[in-house]
């Protein structure tokens, strides 16, 4: 029994095993086997739930944003007092200028009409752009411009209204 209560390192004797254990913890901690703490299951569960909720919210936000349609403006809020260089544009018309043209074409007179097209994301007929450009020549308040990333092939906009078209046809004349 003496061996169980005797410290092998410093050769001290203790009254019981409990005394030897406390001595070893205080004087020889490297000899004491470390106690394994149980896995904090509740913490792991709580953190897992938290991560799942954050991922779920992130996915909802991503899908909500990715499903927003990109279309030309139909209001004039945030417009600038500037006119496009021409009624037929080969580069996209800035949104602020489009809004100004909806207010009044060429800065004075009647409200303008803008025909935007997107032939980068949609397959357009062979003569679509030429047809739109020649159509605009008959009106002094109509503009035609490409619109990158628009979620429509053709969008005809007036102040407060938008008409989405899949092809060039007579609907354009009736909507002007």
- Each residue of 105-153: pLDDT tens digit? 876 778 999 999 999 999 999 899 999 999 999 898 999 999 998 999 9
What are the structure tokens assigned to 8, written together? 């092998």
Higher pLDDT, 45 or 32: 45
User: Cα 135 to chain center, whole Å?
Assistant: 37
Average pLDDT over residues 3-19: 83
Q: What sign does the CA torsion over 85, 86, 88, 94 have?
A: positive
Mean pLDDT of all residues in the chain?
88
User: Residue 146, class by beta-carbon neighbours within 10 Å (0-12 exposed, 13-18 middle, 19+ buried)?
Assistant: middle
More confident residue, 42 or 68: 42
**What CATH number does the domain located at 95-175 have?**
3.40.30
> Percentage of residues in the chain with pLDDT exceeding 90?
50
Mean pLDDT for the stretch of residues 73-84: 89
- Stretch 44-50: mean pLDDT: 95
Instruction: Show me where the domains of the chain are located.
Output: 17-66, 95-175
Task: Summarize the chain as % helix, strand, coil (round to 5).
Answer: 40, 15, 50
Predicted confidence at residue 36, as pLDDT, reads 79
Task: Pick 69 or 170 by higher pLDDT.
Answer: 69
């Amino acid at each position: 029994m003496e061996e169980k209560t005797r410290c092998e390192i410093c050769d001290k004797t203790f009254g019981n095993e409990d005394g030897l254990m406390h001595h070893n913890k205080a004087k020889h901690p490297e000899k004491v086997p470390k106690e394994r703490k149980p896995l904090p299951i509740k913490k792991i569960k709580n953190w897992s739930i938290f991560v799942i909720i954050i991922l779920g919210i992130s996915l909802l936000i991503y899908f909500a944003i990715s499903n927003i349609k990109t279309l030309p403006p139909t209001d004039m809020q945030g417009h600038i007092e500037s006119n496009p260089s021409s009624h037929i544009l080969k580069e996209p018309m800035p949104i602020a200028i489009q809004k100004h043209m909806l207010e009044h074409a060429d800065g004075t007179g009647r409200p303008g009409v803008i025909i935007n097209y997107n032939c980068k994301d949609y397959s357009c007929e062979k003569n679509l752009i030429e047809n739109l450009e020649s159509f605009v020549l008959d009106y002094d308040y109509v503009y035609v411009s490409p619109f990158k990333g628009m979620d429509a092939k053709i969008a005809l906009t007036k102040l407060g209204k938008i008409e989405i078209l899949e092809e060039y046809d007579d609907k354009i004349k009736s909507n002007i």
